[in-house]
Structure 1
Amino acid sequence: MRIVRVANFVSASSGGLRTALAALGAGYVAAGHEVTLVVPGAAPSTRDTPQGRVVTVPGPLVPGAGGYRLILARRSLRRLLAELEPDRLEVSDRTTLRWTGAWARANGVRSMMVSHESLSGLLRLFAPPGTPVRLADHLNRATAAAFDVVACTTGWAAGEFRRLGVPNLVQIPLGVDLDAFAPDRYDPALRALLARPDETLLVHCGRLSPEKRVEDSIAALAELRRRGVPAVLAVAGDGPRRRALEARASGLPVRFLGYLSDRGLVARLLATADVALAPGPVETFGLAALEALAGGTPVVVSRHSALPEVVGEAGARADRGGPSYADAVQDLLIRDEPARRALARRRAERFGWPVAVAGFLRAHAAEPAPATEATDATDATDGTDATDATDATETTDAAEAADSVTKPASAPDPAVRRVPVNGTP
């Protein structure tokens, strides 16, 4: 089967989205499918990669976005899609690329929109006060109507569609490379470089942009030190807010490492930390947090995001602000260290990429590779209010969620099972 994927907001220094695209694409290829990814760039190019063919088309820079580009030339993209002749279309931008759903329908191509962000959450963060919730609802209805399938990676992310009664909603978790990110990546030399033996090493790994709330990690460090906890913070990532964050961290033991292109170094950093911080309030999955868990490092997350679903009891939740995050860090540190690290690893082991790939292929009504077939399990999100991350299911494993997909009207695959709408099976 020929699967064509189109994504915006992907660059050489991208984080979670780039990782997810690469892992899913490689899984599709391993399942025997012909895979092409179309992304924006400075100049056109085509290259063969483990995730299939990657086609770069020219796209303008997004001002103030730290290097992100957009595919805006609709006519050129229509021509390219026609040339590629996809059997399935998978899109990862529900703003500027939503129109591709209409193209797919007009050409008899089954389509999927993968929702990597919470529109409701972003409007809460950035829209002027008083912006009506119905604006997000209107746009989300339009997205659902344009595509055969809307895929979300957590119940929290699916909540803004579920409350609308969207019939073609699927929930499929992402995954983590459990070999690359593992407790044995702990690096004593890196530890010695970043912290003294008596210091607590905190790590924030992610893009330095407003929605990631890096300032909460810095505030947590300041509060911990005020309480007498000898903590230090390493920040891995780059982005438009770096200078402002460096100024905010002035006088504190914060080391800005910049973007780390070496995934092995990222794995060592996450496995070496005592606690990882992920304070973004609109995270819909949080791959960096899952990678930290895989390395045996517990994570403090925003209770207002999807991350409580992902980290479960292997992490701690916090409200916004330094004191709440400091409390959560201390709650984790008082746990027995071998026990908390073992719990983190066990939690991550529920989220392998093979199960994620199987779930996405099932939602595409494509045949998964036999080795990646997910186990049949009861949907653990039944009856859960997906808009409340605090109450989100903490025992759901990736195999269960991969099987918990809504059967679109056009999908004949009997293995694809319906997700409850507003808690009703």
Structure 2
Amino acid sequence: MRIVHVANFYGPSSGGIKTTLHELGRGYLKYGHEFIYIVPGPQYIKEQTPFGLKISLPSFTLPGSGGYQVIRSNKQLLNLLEFLNPDRIEVSDRFTLLKVGRWAKKQKIASLVFSHETLNGLIQKFAPMIPSSIRTRFVNWHNAKLAATFDVVIATTDFAAAEFVRIKAKNLRKVALGVDLVGFNPGNRNFKLRRELLKDSHFLLVHCGRMSPEKEPQRSVQAIAELVNRGIDARLVIIGGGPLWKKLRKQSENLPIEMVGYVASREKVASYLAAADITLAPGPLETFCLSALESLASGTPVVASRSSAVGEILNINSIKPAGAVAADTGVAFADEIVKLLKKGNLRKVARYQAEQFSWANTIDAMLEIHQAKQPMITTKRRLKAA
């Protein structure tokens, strides 16, 4: 089976989307399927990767996004899809790739779309002046349109699914994403690195994520400032780049904060996460948050926004949650950090919770949706030069 995945907002420094695409490709290939992923790039480039055939199409960069790219020509994209002749189509963008769903329906090709964002939350964040009644009507209209355009809508958590449950979308499926349980594990805890990062402080906090408005990284800065005011000897390491990086750096002045920027090496990121006492995931709109799950896999508990989906991942309502959730203020985050530090070692709890999320389970669920759960004997088709 030839599965083609189209994704905007994929790039060298993109996190969750890139990881998801790569792991889907790796899993599909393992079952004998063919995987092609089409993403934005500087020009038309075709290259074979360990995750399948990657095709980059000319794109433009969204102003103020910190480097997010979008495929420039839908016509070129649809021409390419016609040439590729896929058996199944996957899409990772609910806003700019609706034409792909419409094209797939016309061609009678089964399609699905990942809803990686909460539209209601995005509007509340970036257009708070819109009355709630109008916002609700617009969100319902857009989500109904999305559900009608694709055969299946994939939500990764109950939080992400809620908007579609509200409109009673019949083609909604919940598929949790996974985590690399080998690459991210407690064995990566390097005490030499930990000492270097602590710089004689007692507690090490890590924030790993994109420095963009919807992620609200300033919450982690506010939290460490509050901890310092309380006389708690903690230090924060911030990993990631984005449009708010300079602003965050200025806010971090005179605080025990180190900003290391974007880290390309997954091994290095894994070592940072494993070295921490607690990681912070303050994004209030997160519908999954792979970095939080990677932290748990590394044996490190997480403090996250109460208004996001991360609480589901932490199993927050259980007897032994793998972290805590807080209101969206620096004081509230500091409160929960202090409580977790007093609880002591939660590394085994964190790792156990991460083990409930494997990419093998994700691939199994996706292949079931594609009606291709069992490995198929396929004839490889060579692609002509487009």
Equivalents in 2 of 1:293, 1:262: separation in Å? 18
Residue of structure 2 in register with 1:319 after alignment: 327
Equivalences for residues 24-423 of structure 1 within 5 A: 24-131=24-131, 132=134, 133-196=136-199, 198-312=201-315, 313-337=321-345, 340-369=346-375
Q: Secondary structure at the match of 1:29?
A: helix
Conserved? CA contact 2:202–2:233, under 8 Å: yes
Structure 2, unmatched stretches of 5+, are 316-320, 377-386
Conserved? CA contact 1:36–1:53, under 8 Å: yes
Query: Following TM superposition, by how much is the alpha carbon of 1:336 offset from its aligned partner in structure 2, in angstroms?
Result: 2.7
Query: Following TM superposition, by how much is the alpha carbon of 1:59 offset from its aligned partner in structure 2, in angstroms?
Result: 0.8
Equivalents in 1 of 2:81, 2:37: separation in Å? 11
Equivalents in 2 of 1:368, 1:159: separation in Å? 31
For residues 309-350 of structure 1, give each alpha carbon's deviation from its aligned partner in whole angstroms, at most 9, with x where no partner exists.
00121010100111100011111111131xx11000000000
Q: Secondary structure at the match of 1:80?
A: helix
Query: Following TM superposition, by how much is the alpha carbon of 1:15 offset from its aligned partner in structure 2, in angstroms?
Result: 0.8
Q: Secondary structure at the match of 2:270?
A: helix
TM-score by length of 2: 0.94
The alpha-carbon distance between structure 1 residues 369 and 267, as it changes in their structure 2 partners (threshold 3 A), is: farther
The alpha-carbon distance between structure 1 residues 369 and 124, as it changes in their structure 2 partners (threshold 3 A), is: farther
Percent of residue pairs bearing the same amino acid type? 45
Equivalents in 2 of 1:335, 1:230: separation in Å? 17
The alignment covers a number of residue pairs equal to 368
Query: Following TM superposition, by how much is the alpha carbon of 1:368 offset from its aligned partner in structure 2, in angstroms?
Result: 4.6
Q: Secondary structure at the match of 1:70?
A: strand
Residue of structure 1 in register with 2:318 after alignment: none
Equivalents in 2 of 1:368, 1:121: separation in Å? 38
Equivalents in 1 of 2:201, 2:60: separation in Å? 48
Equivalents in 2 of 1:310, 1:111: separation in Å? 27
Query: Following TM superposition, by how much is the alpha carbon of 1:198 offset from its aligned partner in structure 2, in angstroms?
Result: 4.6
Structure 1, unmatched stretches of 5+, are 371-425
1:18 corresponds to 2:18: yes
For residues 135-190 of structure 1, give each alpha carbon's deviation from its aligned partner in whole angstroms, at most 9, with x where no partner exists.
11111110000000000100100000111000000000000000000000001121
Conserved? CA contact 1:112–1:364, under 8 Å: no
Query: Following TM superposition, by how much is the alpha carbon of 1:196 offset from its aligned partner in structure 2, in angstroms?
Result: 3.8
Q: Secondary structure at the match of 2:160?
A: helix
Conserved? CA contact 2:201–2:235, under 8 Å: no
